[in-house]
Chains A and B, each alone.
Chain A
């Protein structure tokens, strides 16, 4: 069973981290990723540029409307994801809890809905 783990955090707070703390966090992410690659749960992962770089696109009456910024203003912003393979929700939750960002932000665990092809 596949899950997408969406990492939400307050960008402003992350930006305020000292270079040392930011370095530690990055190192922790590296270690965590390595561990789930080894356990075979890893499928993909990426981090995202801040919401200040986001554009939102809608098509209305055949016309493309593009606006600056994220889809919704929230206190915590989507900052990255892990795409994993897990036995069940309990395992997915246990993996999500080990993501370094879970200690200050939030991880949303979403089951993948496979497409019939």
Chain B
């Protein structure tokens, strides 16, 4: 038998098998070990017996028994040490009956439980992200460490602490009750979006790892959409990620510089993925009972994605969508994006007024993009000297390297002061 066939099954079923084993054995580490042993047993036996009809159920069954053996051995050891004569107890989780693991719905529930447990608000956000990538996405802890630019040691500790807290504080392995569902889904979406943004940020080097993060975030979004079908917020985020990710190839020049939206080569955009995203935006905006900020952002991304040329962009509608977004999520960064859209409709003077009022009342005056946008507006107004000062302020704020190069280029292109 081809070992690649077996590996393919492990890759495909591994996440589901782990999610169910965690429920049956009641412990993350034990479940990971049990799954490893089940894989080892499969590699040993399947070449002779053939691949069982329901490989997933087989792996869960074997893994569960290995896990229970392990618990028994531990219990026995403890008893011997304590010198007690009492009978070894059955593990509290897992019960006596064989897990009816052929049931697809039970597997889906377990994956959902796993996602909600990994994204539990009692864990730190960085632990939520690490645990989700490691356990739900099945990435090796080394891969997660590399993606977040921390040492393996740090990542091991972070994962260890999180699993320990789940165990010792008794964070439930459950889908939250209806009263808590919206709030907890928000938390899961925040984790997925953080994974995506981390992968999407234009940073020098490690580009491949970064793309992996975007892919994993999109995969998580699809999984959540399949497990909790019809939710506008989940679909909205998935659409947003697909539409942004579709522009990936056009976002960075051959020399590694950031390329602004209006200067991107639109033939490099992934049309199939855009179509996918557009359909999801449509569906998520049709659900009106709870307007999702992700869906509105996705709608904005959709308007950019469907403009054949930059000049064909429907800026008026984009301004309207930013105003909706500001009502749901009044943050300085969204306000900044709103002013950019306003400048396209009402001209730079009006936008400059907005941006100056924003800078006066919020704490983002140290944000490089605020100065960069301001510089651009001043430049358009022909106020070259002030534009130069604003570009310098943007460079003085900590800007990522590819954006620095863009800002420096803009600065060089300014005409001499009049």
* Chain B residues with CB under 8 A of A89: 120, 122, 169-172
Interface of B is mostly: loop
* Residue A20 lies at the interface, judged by CB distance under 8 Å to chain B: no
* Chain A residues with CB under 8 A of B169: 89, 109, 111
* Residue B168 lies at the interface, judged by CB distance under 8 Å to chain A: yes
Question: 24 A-B pairs, CB-CB below 8 angstroms?
Answer: A1-B170, A87-B172, A88-B170, A88-B171, A88-B172, A88-B174, A89-B120, A89-B122, A89-B169, A89-B170, A89-B171, A89-B172, A90-B171, A90-B172, A90-B174, A90-B176, A90-B180, A93-B122, A109-B122, A109-B169, A111-B168, A111-B169, A111-B170, A113-B168
How far apart are the CA atoms of A93 and B123 in the complex, in Å? Answer: 13
How far apart are the CA atoms of A5 and B344 in the complex, in Å? Answer: 54
Size of the B side of the interface (Cβ < 8 Å), in residues, is: 10
* Chain A residues with CB under 8 A of B170: 1, 88-89, 111
How far apart are the CA atoms of A111 and B171 in the complex, in Å? Answer: 10
How far apart are the CA atoms of A53 and B185 in the complex, in Å? Answer: 45
How far apart are the CA atoms of A90 and B181 in the complex, in Å? Answer: 13
Chain A to chain B: the 3 pairs with minimum beta-carbon distance, closest first: A88-B172, A111-B169, A88-B170
8 additional A-B pairs beyond A89-B170, A90-B172, A90-B180, beta carbons within 8 Å, are A1-B170, A88-B171, A88-B172, A89-B171, A93-B122, A109-B122, A111-B168, A113-B168
* Chain A residues with CB under 8 A of B180: 90
Q: What is the minimal beta-carbon distance from B75 to any residue of chain A, in angstroms?
A: 14
How far apart are the CA atoms of A13 and B239 in the complex, in Å? Answer: 47
* Chain B residues with CB under 8 A of A111: 168-170
How far apart are the CA atoms of A1 and B170 in the complex, in Å? Answer: 8
* Chain A residues with CB under 8 A of B122: 89, 93, 109
Q: Which of B163-199 contact A (CB under 8 A)?
A: 168-172, 174, 176, 180
How far apart are the CA atoms of A90 and B122 in the complex, in Å? Answer: 9
* Chain B residues with CB under 8 A of A90: 171-172, 174, 176, 180
How far apart are the CA atoms of A87 and B171 in the complex, in Å? Answer: 10
* Chain B residues with CB under 8 A of A88: 170-172, 174
* Chain A residues with CB under 8 A of B176: 90
Name the CB-closest residue of B to A111: B169
Q: Which of A55-108 contact B (CB under 8 A)?
A: 87-90, 93
How far apart are the CA atoms of A32 and B171 in the complex, in Å? Answer: 24
Q: What is the minimal beta-carbon distance from A109 to any residue of chain B, in angstroms?
A: 8
Name the CB-closest residue of A to B122: A89
Name the CB-closest residue of B to A2: B170
Q: What is the minimal beta-carbon distance from B233 to any residue of chain A, in angstroms?
A: 21
Most buried by B among A90, A109, A113: A90
